[in-house]
Amino acid sequence: MSVESERFLSKVSGMCEKEKWDKGDYRILQCDVSKDVEIGQAIRACSENFGGLDALLHSVAFSPKPALESVLHCNREDFRKTFDISVYSLIALSQEAAPVLRSRGGGSITCLTFNGSERAIPGYGLMGPAKGALESACRYIAAELGQDKIRVNALSPGPLNTLAARGIPNFHQLRQSAEAKAPLNKQLTQQDVGDVAAFLASDMAQAITGQTLHVDCGYSIVSH
């Protein structure tokens, strides 16, 4: 796994220790996805530490606060930064990971999205268009890498209590509304999302590529 800078290293390390993960099973690398050099170093480090790469999970997004408040009034620099970190990073990571995955006979690339790509969600701002672009990029990359048996999919969880989600105004109310309206009438958990991510990375999903899978207890299919 990777973090953007040193200030996140101790927090992520503490999380791994809390989950009682064996230190031999993971590495925490520093990787600023706005820097191609660091992306290349991270992919090479993963390959060297574990003898190759079978799956890549893209779980990174960022937008300056003003751009989260309004799409109409966002400036050019905030737009560039949002799409660079939230969308282009998938392309850049895929470029570096593809040769390593190809050498192993194929593999899986999964990115995380949100249905703010399909609906206008208050407080989500420019991240909505960015997630829409991310899903489209996922499909095009899947089409190009299919011949190498590399599958590329997007995973779209419902409102989930994460550090990023807590930056959305009124997130608590959004989560409560999703739980109340979802057909399965249950609160989505990290375990629910992790299970589907593991499925997409496994051979059980070897016929699935270029898809956006909603993991939201059915929230996306009902009227809001």
Q: How far is the C-alpha of 33 from the C-alpha of 115, rounded, in Å?
A: 23
Catalytic site residue 131? yes
* Residues 202/103, Cβ–Cβ less than 8 Å: no
Which amino acid makes up residue 49?
Answer: N
Among the listed residues 11, 81, 124, 140, the single catalytic one is 124
> How many C-beta neighbours within 10 Å does residue 21 have?
11
Among the listed residues 20, 35, 131, 149, the single catalytic one is 131
Burial of 165 (0-12, 13-18, 19+ CB in 10 A): middle
Which amino acid makes up residue 42?
Answer: A
Active site residues per annotation: 124, 131
